[in-house]
Amino acid sequence: MKNTFKIISAVAAIVVGLASCVKDLDVNPIDPNVVQEFNQEAVFAKIYGTLGLTGQTGPDGDGDVDGLDEGTSSFYRMMWELNEFPSDEVWWVWGDVGVTNVRACTWNSSNDLVKGLYSRLYFDITLCNLFLKETNGAGDENTIKQRAEVRFIRALNYYYLLDMYGEGVPFATEVGVVPMPITRADLYKYVIDELKDIESQMYADGAKPYYRADQVAAWLLLARIYLNAEVYTGTPDYNNAALYAGKVMTSSYTLAPEYKHLFMGDNDPLSTVNLASQEIILPIAQDGIETENWGGAIFLVASSRISGMNFPGTSEQWSCARSKKNLVEKFFPGITNSTTIKGDENSLPAIAADDRCLLVNQVKNDLDGVVYEATLLGGAQNGDGADGFGAGWGIAKFSNLKVNGEPARDAKFPDVDIPLLRIAEAYLTYAEAVYRGGTAANGSALDAVNALRTRAHADPCLALTEDYLLDEWAREFYYEGRRRTDLIRFNKFAGNVNYNWEGKGDTPAGQNVDAKYNLYPIPYSDLMANPNLKPTQGF
């Protein structure tokens, strides 16, 4: 990772703070080229800022990670792209550098997106290691809490390395040392042990400031890791997955009454109408004025919009991302191009009998009345550029509008906080773990699934199957940056899986791809820089 990270040194830290509307993370930016000293509060804020911001100033011009387009370089956007682009949910119609091969599941160790996320994760880990070194030995309550949260964020970054890059990634918990490769099984154990060790030092359930991580966040991440234990280690652990998911389900967090409110411009505690904040365990703070950047909520809202769709609360409408046929089929089983279903995010939920169906295939045209822009399903054969956007249904899940219809504060950059962790995940984790044999201490698997379906005003599920569970993960969490992980756990991603989608394997209808694509490879540039590393198997 030589020359990859813009870390000044172990003493002269990166100390630019997050200019946030949240008091707990609100610090004055410090120029690291002028101030050569460690500023604890500023570095702490910067660590949280790495989740959704891209650089030192924003929205562009001084990115955290060298060699990347700053607009795409945030932790969330890069993680989202590598989980959604190669999946059965989203078709990104613009062939930006690295995108084409990720869409097709034909990437290699020199792919820009593969290298980009890897670099971002290690930038964030190095910053966490620096904070922990500089605060080592401090015994005041504030620092103890901060250190536990920084260890959580470091564990979160290592979790994504565990999940997405797997075997033999470099590992270090100190600055100034050469990272050494770690096995996937050992990294799995490290992340679990770390989360358990910090649990008692984190904010207790119900006691944290809103934009900070607490014990419940640690429980939910533990539940997620245990649910995927067989992928990571070869041995399942559904009992612990159910145990920790149950702890989250019985915490102070509760499902928001309205699904779509989770993704709107007033989904924070300041709203007395939008109650989404009661479900969001760890939000990534976004403020249209204070956190301008191209890697946060702006890309979620703008990328899925085209002129003529309902106003999303931002002037940006990029026409980049539309749904694949597989996603539409989760709400409309058996649908074909000859099926007459037309509507937008206001009408399709009722037609689908599921509030989560925030899709669009009816686009208004001020000159000609109403046109049906999305005319094809499974249209990868002409899936690039402006024509490609019309080859699938639009996705209107994220909106910068408030519940009352008013726009947020800025005409361009959204206020909608990104719900990185929310309690709905615990319900589906618990349901799947119990279905697969985990101990049912908090009700039945069916009850957990139906809690989400009841919230969505959808018909109850009467009997669970593996396919139903996988589809329910999509219905609840599409476009939120996790689909690849779920497909791999259900053995539906790479290898001889016989579940395909448009563009997979670089064919219009999709085809099986080599099992090596269940992982992203360690970038070639890092193999050259660190002789201790070995190429990922198959690459």
Task: Specify the range with the lowest mean pLDDT, choosing from 60-69, 179-188, 206-215, 287-296.
Answer: 60-69
318-374 residue pLDDT tens: 889 999 999 999 999 999 888 878 899 999 999 999 999 999 987 776 555 555 456
Higher per-residue pLDDT: 316 or 340? 316
Tokens encoding 56: 């030192």
Three-state SS at 360? strand
5-55 residue pLDDT tens: 333 332 233 322 222 223 333 444 333 334 458 999 999 999 999 998 776
Higher per-residue pLDDT: 156 or 1? 156
Quote the CA–CA distance of 67 and 77 in Å, as a whole number: 16
Section 306-328 average pLDDT: 89
Task: Specify the range with the lowest mean pLDDT, choosing from 89-98, 120-129, 211-220.
Answer: 89-98
| DSSP 8-state assignment for residue 321 | E
| pLDDT reported for residue 71 | 60
Quote the CA–CA distance of 525 and 536 in Å, as a whole number: 13
Bridge-based pairing of strands 359-360 and 180-182 is unpaired
- How many percent of the chain have pLDDT more than 90? 71
Evaluate if residue 291 carries a pLDDT over 80: no
Tokens encoding 140: 């005041």
Evaluate if residue 375 carries a pLDDT over 70: no
Within 10 angstroms of residue 425's Cβ, the number of other Cβ atoms is 23
Bridge-based pairing of strands 169-171 and 180-182 is antiparallel
Amino acid occupying residue 151:
R
Beta bridge partner(s), residue 363: 371
Q: Please check whether residue 336 is in contact with residue 438, taking contact to mean a CB–CB distance below 8 angstroms.
A: no
Please give the angle made by the CA atoms of 87, 88 and 94, to the nearest 5 degrees. Answer: 70
Section 475-480 average pLDDT: 98
Evaluate if residue 403 carries a pLDDT over 70: yes
Higher per-residue pLDDT: 494 or 11? 494
Report the candidate in 483, 472, 479 with the shortest Cα–Cα distance to residue 321.
Answer: 479
Q: Please check whether residue 420 is in contact with residue 76, taking contact to mean a CB–CB distance below 8 angstroms.
A: yes
Q: Tokens 């101030």 correspond to what residue?
A: 35
| pLDDT reported for residue 336 | 86
Q: Please check whether residue 283 is in contact with residue 318, taking contact to mean a CB–CB distance below 8 angstroms.
A: no
140-166 residue pLDDT tens: 999 999 999 999 999 999 999 999 999
Quote the CA–CA distance of 456 and 459 in Å, as a whole number: 9
Report the candidate in 89, 103, 99, 96 with the shortest Cα–Cα distance to residue 513.
Answer: 103
Quote the CA–CA distance of 491 and 485 in Å, as a whole number: 10
| pLDDT reported for residue 18 | 26
Q: What is the CA radius of gyration of the chain?
A: 22
CA end-to-end span of the chain:
19
Evaluate if residue 4 carries a pLDDT over 60: no
Mean pLDDT (the chain) is 88
Report the candidate in 232, 282, 181, 210 with the shortest Cα–Cα distance to residue 530.
Answer: 181
**What's the pTM?**
0.91
Please give the angle made by the CA atoms of 448, 241 and 127, to the nearest 5 degrees. Answer: 115
Q: Please check whether residue 78 is in contact with residue 117, taking contact to mean a CB–CB distance below 8 angstroms.
A: yes
209-220 residue pLDDT tens: 999 999 999 999
Question: In sequence order, which residues have a C-beta less than 8 Å from that of residue 531 and are 6 or more positions away?
Answer: none
Question: In sequence order, which residues have a C-beta less than 8 Å from that of residue 74 and are 6 or more positions away?
Answer: 50, 51, 52, 53, 54, 120, 293, 295, 296
Quote the CA–CA distance of 375 and 402 in Å, as a whole number: 30
Report the candidate in 145, 1, 122 with the shortest Cα–Cα distance to residue 50.
Answer: 122
Section 121-134 average pLDDT: 96
Q: Please check whether residue 118 is in contact with residue 522, taking contact to mean a CB–CB distance below 8 angstroms.
A: yes
pLDDT band at 3 (very low <50, low <70, confident <90, very high): very low
Q: Tokens 């290298």 correspond to what residue?
A: 115
pLDDT band at 191 (very low <50, low <70, confident <90, very high): very high
Quote the CA–CA distance of 539 and 528 in Å, as a whole number: 14
CA distances to 45, 211, 287 from 147, rounded to whole Å, are: 12, 16, 25
CB under 8 Å, gap of 24 or more: what pairs does 339-348 form?
Answer: 342/372, 344/309, 344/310, 344/396, 345/260, 345/310, 345/396, 345/397, 346/310
Sign of CA dihedral 122, 126, 131, 133: positive
